């Protein structure tokens, strides 16, 4: 039995959709009203460990999709409770959607993911760690006033689309040879200047609008922090991951 947590979220729904041909799939959601259709549903709340133990019962493979909680302390508790519930329920193997860098960095955006990875390793459960980049879905360039503007200093982004990451998760849940692995998933590098060329508009570099999450992220891009490349996503998919530039070409056509 394959159990998927966070099944009502954007990534979880894509995973469930791609598992539709599998005989025994369970979607775990906090609110059953929001559950995907056509699949068995169990209630499981990251803030209620007992509900998770019940939801994970009988799982041969568990996909633990990270909580959307932004507070690191609360998120760590949620994840560690989920890992403990998985161990208590005796799941056959756990796959966890982590973040690039979480294997070595324990601060900032990777703090909760690092702690979760350590808990999974300490649990003794067979595991696969799926370290995601930032989702390309949130970075699709938008033309405004006949031009494309950005604050990335011309540096590259290794984003990947949720559709590819969902498919990779399904390959791990249903295939062999993935246990004990930590995959660093990245999509093909692209820049905003290249995106502007595909869209046929001028590109203009502009200063950051001001303090905030996007300003921090733009600074990361300018520092080259999103240029790391790994073959892992293409390897698991068995094909190249979709690039941002190809998606823009398709949309522009």
74-90: pLDDT as tens digits: 999 999 999 999 999 99
pLDDT at site 123? 97
Could you tell me which residues come within 8 angstroms of residue 81 by beta carbon, excluding any fewer than 6 positions away? 46, 49, 52
Of 213, 195, 212, the closest CA to residue 204 belongs to 195
pLDDT at site 252? 79
Tokens of 208: 């950051």
- The alpha carbon of 191 is separated from its chain's Cα centroid by a whole number of angstroms, namely 21
Alpha-carbon span 191 to 93, nearest angstrom: 37
pLDDT at site 64? 98
Contact of 134 with 189, CB cutoff 8 Å: no
- The alpha carbon of 138 is separated from its chain's Cα centroid by a whole number of angstroms, namely 12
Q: For the segment 220-246, what is each residue's pLDDT rounded down to a tens digit?
A: 999 999 999 999 999 999 999 999 999
Q: pLDDT under 70 in the chain at which residues?
A: none
């Amino acid at each position: 039995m394959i159990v998927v947590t966070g099944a009502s979220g954007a990534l979880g729904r894509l995973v469930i959709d791609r598992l539709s041909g599998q005989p025994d799939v369970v979607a775990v959601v906090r609110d059953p009203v929001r559950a995907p259709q056509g699949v068995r549903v169990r209630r499981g709340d990251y803030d209620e460990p007992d509900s998770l133990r019940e939801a994970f019962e009988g799982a041969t493979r568990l996909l633990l999709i990270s909580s959307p909680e932004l507070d690191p302390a609360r998120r760590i508790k949620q994840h560690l409770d989920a890992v403990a519930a998985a161990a208590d329920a005796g799941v056959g193997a756990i796959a966890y959607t982590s973040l690039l860098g979480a294997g070595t960095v324990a601060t900032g955006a990777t703090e909760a993911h690092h702690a979760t990875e350590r808990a999974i390793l300490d649990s003794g459960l067979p595991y696969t760690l799926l370290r995601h980049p930032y989702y390309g879905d949130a970075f699709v360039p938008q033309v405004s006033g006949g031009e494309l503007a950005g604050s990335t200093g011309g540096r590259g982004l290794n984003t990947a689309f949720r559709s590819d990451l969902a498919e990779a998760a399904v390959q791990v849940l249903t295939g062999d040879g993935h246990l004990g692995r930590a995959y660093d998933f990245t999509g093909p590098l692209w820049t905003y200047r290249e995106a502007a060329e595909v869209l046929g508009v001028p590109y203009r570099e502009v200063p950051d609008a001001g303090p905030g999450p996007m300003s921090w992220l733009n600074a990361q891009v300018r520092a080259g922090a999103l240029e790391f490349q790994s073959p892992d996503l293409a390897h698991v998919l068995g094909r190249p991951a979709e690039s941002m530039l190809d998606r823009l070409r398709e949309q522009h056509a």
